[in-house]
Amino acid sequence: MHVLPGIPEVKILMKANGIPHPPIHSPVVYFSLARQIVDDYGIRQGICLDIGSGVGLLGIGIAMMTQLSVFLVDIDRHALEGALANAKYFMVRHNITCLRADVHNLPLIDGSANLIASRGSVLFWKDPVRAFMCINRILAPNAVAFIGGGLHRCLPREERKKLKKAIRGWFESPDAKSLLPPHSWPVSCWMANAKIKAFRIIDDNPGKWIEIRKME
C-alpha cells in the first residue's frame, strides 16, 4: 500500500497490475490531479463529471475524496466497463455512474453540474467551441470546470519527469500528427465563440489547463 502525499486519509494500491483496468499513465497522475482539484475548489457535494474519463481514475479519485456523485463520461463502452470495475476495486462504486455520451451533446439538464473535470480529452474534441458551450450550459451557479492536459502542480517530482517525457514523446509520434498540441490551442478564441467570460488559462508546459467558473 502507498499513501499518496497530501491524501493521508486515502490508502491507494499503486501497483498498476493490482488495478483491474490500468490507465495510460501511473495512477498517481490521476489521483494527485484529483487531490489538486478538490483542494483548490473545495467542491465536495453535488454532481461531478469526469469527461473523457477512460477507465475512470480521475473521477474515482474525486469520489474517494468527497461526497460528490461522480459521472464518468466517455463514448467508449469498453472503457466505461473498465471504469466500473475500477470503481468497485477502489470501493466507490456507490458514488459512480457511467454515462456513454459525447461532450458535444451532454444529456444533462442546464445548471446540473457542480464540478467538471477532464484530463486529456480536449485533443480529441471535433468542435471545441460547441463542447465548451455544452459544458458551460450544464454548470451550476458557483460551479467550476477544470479541463486540459499535461502536467499539474500536485504531481510528485519523479512522476512529473516521467510524464513530461511521455507526453513529448507521444506528440512526436505518428498517432498525434493530426492533433493540435496544447501550446497551439486558441483558448481565448474558443471562449469568445462559446460566450464564456469567466475563465483562466494555466500554462503547464508541455500542457495547458482551462479553468471556467460559472457565476450566479
The tens digit of pLDDT for each residue in 76-121 reads 999 999 999 999 999 899 999 999 999 999 999 999 999 999 999 9
> What's the pLDDT tens digit per position in 19-28?
899 998 888 8
Fold exhibited by the domain 2-150+163-168+183-214: Rossmann fold (3.40.50)
String of DSSP letters for 150-207: S--TTS-HHHHHHHHHHHHHHHTSGGGTTS--GGG--HHHHHHHTT--SEEEEEETTE
pTM of the model: 0.91
* Mean per-residue pLDDT, 31-45: 94
Q: Scanning the structure block, which residue is given the C-alpha cell 481565448?
A: 188
pLDDT confidence band for 154 (50 / 70 / 90): confident
